[in-house]
Amino acid sequence: MDLNVQEAAELLRTSERMLYRWIKEGTIPCQRVNGHYRFHRAELLEWATARGLALSVDAFPAARLVNDGELPRFSAALEAGGVFTNVEGDDRASVLGAIVKRMPLVDQADRDLLFDVMMAREALGSTGVGDGIAIPHVRFPIVLNTIKPSITLCFLEHPIEFGAIDGRPVHTLFSLVTHGIRSHLHLLSRLSAALHDPQFRRAVLERAASPRIVAEAARVDLALSRARESTTK
């Protein structure tokens, strides 16, 4: 899933000059291999999401994929994961534990494993993306006893310190569980796009009921599909 400079610039909807500026500043995750800069797609998506950058609608192919099957719809994943209010917790660990408890997993062993992996991911850097929102997730999918990809949305009982990029406490968290790397990256990019959509973001920040949030997610799905179709004509 490595990208070169041109591909990374296209994914981030920016110029190669801006990309080299970020490289020089040391603010963008990349590696130098044989004199060329390479970018890992998962790291790049996390970085872009944390900084509120819009991603290209062509980041992922629309066709079926050999390993993951058909890419999941954002709205379907959100409906599968559920929307929960007044989620308990006084710190990052207790909140993540409360979230994992609510995720659509079958075995307790899977919950314990997922919690450990999510905590390890947070140790690499906070998944708080600003405005009180965080997207705790595993960087690379792990095998869990779950039927379908899901995004669980949790509204906390009270905000907590999360080491977010803007320094503000977190009150809203989206957590992803997927079957494979392509579906993981696809849903992460869809969530990133949704958080740029004013209507979806408003529904989330207002803590709207689950049907409204899922409906807004379905609208985002449709808008992104139409945008993709228009760019391929």
Cα separation, 165 vs 128, in Å, equals 6
Determine whether 150 is exposed, middle or buried from the number of CB atoms within 10 Å of its CB (0-12, 13-18, 19+): buried
Q: What share of the chain is helix, strand, coil (3-state, %, to 5)?
A: 45, 20, 35
- Among 137, 171, 179, 186, the one annotated catalytic: 137
Q: Is 87 in contact with 157 (CB distance < 8 Å)?
A: yes
What is the rounded CA–CA span in Å between residue 59 and residue 228? 10
**DSSP string covering 139-193, please?**
SS----S-SS-EEEEEEEEEEE----TTSPPEEEEEEEE-SSHHHHHHHHHHHHH
Where would I find the H helices in 51-160? 74-81, 92-102, 108-124
Which one, of 53, 99, 63, 80, lies nearest residue 186 by Cα?
Answer: 63
Encoding tokens for residue 112? Answer: 């314990």
Q: Are 193 and 55 in contact (CB under 8 A)?
A: yes
Tell me if residue 137 is catalytic: yes
Catalytic positions: 137
